[in-house]
Amino acid sequence: MLDRIPIPNPFGWEGLSTFSLLMMLAFLVGSYLLPKELERKKLDPSHSDWLIFLGILGTLVGAKIFFIFEIWDQVFIDVPGYDGKYTYPLTHWNGFPGHPGLWSSLFSGGGLVFFGGLLFGWLFITLYFRHHKLDIGAYYDAVIPAISMGYAIGRLGCFVSGDGCYGFATDTRIPFFVFDFHGAHPSGVPVWNTPVMESIMAFGYFAYFQFWARYQNFRKWSIGAQFLIIHGFARLIIEFLRVNKAVIPFIDPPTLVNIPDANGNPTFLTGYYWHGFSQSQYISIALILFGVYLLVSKKLWLKEETKV
């Protein structure tokens, strides 16, 4: 993985973060697409800058908060010799020795959970819509192509940085969809290339929204509801291949072996990993159900009548 682009300098700086660069590119592309779509839908494009800013802010805040939820059982633990399961992590930047710290994780450059960013981004821009008394359904539909493209680019950032959102180890060899992992975790293990899989799916539904759906005269909320359903199913499916903990395990999880052998080659999750729905899968199911609810309650399969 290329997590940094080296730049010669006398200050010992490691170089530009590829993840940060692609995240910035994702937001820049979104800031290009959104005002154009607002203009096309005869909505006020002057709101686009605030929507992008609040979307970025909500994404970062929510993604970090949900990341802390994911590693909660690693941060707040009982450690012999230390008093205060909760007090110590709250009062020490790096937390317990050998475990992720609450504050160091919260303010680190990595550790972002997409659904947390999505939910908080929606919350922030919804509050903006309500404050300015905007047509929420129409504006939501307008932001969907930008969100889809941003997600597709952002997932490529996860891949090049090697931050860990890969799939479990597999003996299957499918070019491009399985790769030998070299990143935040032990190297040399063939794993499912889930970041690229998700990116391809996101580019696919971006193309659907950008080049077809938005021209179909759907009712307000229809594009937003379709996004919730399509993205919900895409993420639900891909999570079966990803290395994520089950919120409520249905079966015993596989043994996690993370010790290099004499040649330095670690064995890492060599069996099928899924043993219960992950946090992201439960959120995916909720998004699908909410999208279906919008579709049915507002009869979004119908189209607006064309005014002559």
Q: Band the pLDDT of 138: cuts 50, 70, 90.
A: very high
Task: Report the percentage of the chain scoring pLDDT > 70.
Answer: 82
Q: What's the pLDDT score for residue 264?
A: 46
Q: Band the pLDDT of 152: cuts 50, 70, 90.
A: very high
- Cα distance between residue 139 and residue 117, in whole Å: 18
CA 287, 199, 74, 267 dihedral sign is positive
- Cα distance between residue 126 and residue 223, in whole Å: 16
Please report, for residues 36, 62, 306, the alpha-carbon distance to residue 22 in angstroms, rounded to integers and kept in the order given. Answer: 22, 19, 40
Q: Which helix (H) or strand (E) holds 109?
A: none
Q: What's the pLDDT score for residue 106?
A: 82
**What are the tens digits of pLDDT across the range 56-108?**
999 889 989 988 888 888 888 877 777 778 887 888 888 888 788 888 888 87
- Cα distance between residue 286 and residue 228, in whole Å: 9
Which residues participate in the annotated binding site? 155
**What are the tens digits of pLDDT across the range 234-264?**
999 998 888 777 888 777 765 554 444 444 4
> Does the model's pTM come out above 0.85?
no
